[in-house]
Structure 1
Amino acid sequence: MAAEEEDPRMHPLPPYPEMILATVAAADDSSGTSVSAISDYVESCHGGQLPLAHASLLAAHLARMTEAGELLLVGGSYFRPGPDAPPPVKRGRGRPPKPKLPVPVDAAPRRRGRPPKPVDPLAPVKIPRPRGRPPKNAPGDADPDGAALAKRPRGRPPKVRAQFTEVGFV
């Protein structure tokens, strides 16, 4: 064949977006068209040719068309956008940021970290101590009692054996 003609059996179904738009146009309902109504209409027109994954394909195409702005989703019903409809707003990934509160001009910026505790005027004055672990006493230092510090040997102490005394028989 010189001119190759497309076999109509190769593509029995029109693309899903075309079927969806035809369904919404055919319904022409002021309250919109629900997912179940779209699915029923497509099944009635192309019943024996639909794939097994028709429900998931329909849901995916509806989501894609809504995101692209080809359809509007209002309260669970799909509409064709009018000529004065705003363009779709595509959100980025992740959680949207919280709205910023206006900062008064005369307010001082907040300091980092935990805020300081309120000062009690009746509390006794604390004497500041140096930071960190206190230094070890030198081996030549003595306790305030006057007793010298004895250094223990390394390792486990030897086991103490009980002393046996001879018991005489009478």
Structure 2
Amino acid sequence: MTIDVTTWSLEQTAAADVSPAREPGAGAGVRIVRAEVPSPAFSRFLYTAVGADNDWTDRLEWSHERWLEFLDRPGTETWVAYERGTPAGYIELDPQDAGVVEISYFGLLPAFRGRRIGGHLLTWGARRAWDLAERWPGRPPTKRLWVHTCSKDGPYALDNYRRRGFKVFDVTTEAEVATGAEG
């Protein structure tokens, strides 16, 4: 069985494009911290914990060395949202050539969805993408921030990106073989 999967590519072209979300309430105990030490085990945990129900599979076969190679590149950053000390979600910034930064992965663990953490984390991550050169000497200033999301992601993903100031620049639809979760 196949399903049609729509992918939206979105971008911001200036730091002023970031439209901030309201922060979770003060009692929520949410803080966002950069994981400064490249840790393949921790990054794999975040990837599988967030992506398991969204059909993220492209990194499941990565070796420890491949994870480390990706995470240890200058400018690559992982920002983790914690609620009262528990990892709630993450955003991964992937620097590319000519001042381009991709949000390669972003999402929340299922138990933390629907609590205003996602919009807050996306705002934080977008702002960190725009000031990336300040933390990485030799990195050109960010000129473009982009991301893609698809119809297999959470039901609010596309709307969250749009509310944070991202604009759609491409839409594609392709047939994919359905896994047990979709069919």
Q: TM-score range by the shorter chain?
A: under 0.3
Query: Which of the pair is proportionally richer in strand?
Result: 2
Question: Which is bigger in relative contact order (C-alpha 8 A, separation at least 6)?
Answer: 2
TM-score by length of 1: 0.25
